[in-house]
């Protein structure tokens, strides 16, 4: 199971909302609004990993406690591996840091997320 903290989901589709969807693994079907998870002001990072203090806490024994971060920089989101034991994969390629694009698949342990910028007509 993946735990969501303080997330509101806007289903109107009126404006693009950068989101992660769990498409494989624990929490399949869960949705995370990245704009709401990124703290306002200062460094805007979204932690992903097994530790409960992460913005997105995954129950996956192959994920590190602090596995990766998504960093908001202006209008873009960067996926950054935090020297995890099993690596962070973007579209089946191991990465250390990469800019996210709509339709990207992020694998952390056995959990797979789909990244969406929220464009009209994009259905995960």
Number of CB atoms found within 10 A of residue 121's CB: 5
* pLDDT at residue 102, rounded to an integer: 96
Number of domains in the chain: 1
Residue 83 located in a structural domain: yes
* pLDDT at residue 69, rounded to an integer: 98
Give the chain's residues under pLDDT 70. 1-15, 39-43, 119-124
Residue 59 located in a structural domain: yes
We report the CATH number of the domain holding residue 37 as: 2.60.200.20
In terms of residue numbers, what domain contains 54?
17-116
Q: What is the pTM of this model?
A: 0.82
């Amino acid at each position: 199971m993946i735990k969501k903290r303080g997330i509101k989901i806007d289903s109107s589709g009126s404006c693009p909302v950068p989101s992660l969807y769990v498409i494989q693994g624990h929490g399949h079907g869960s949705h995370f609004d990245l704009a709401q998870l990124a703290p306002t002001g200062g460094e805007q990072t979204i932690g992903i990993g097994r530790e409960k203090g992460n913005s997105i806490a995954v129950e996956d024994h192959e994920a590190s406690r602090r596995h990766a971060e998504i960093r908001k920089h202006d209008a873009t989101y960067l996926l950054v591996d935090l020297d995890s034991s099993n690596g962070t994969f973007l579209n089946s390629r191991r990465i250390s840091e990469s800019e996210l694009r709509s339709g990207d698949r992020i694998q952390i342990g056995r959990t797979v997320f789909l990244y969406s910028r929220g464009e009209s007509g994009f259905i995960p």
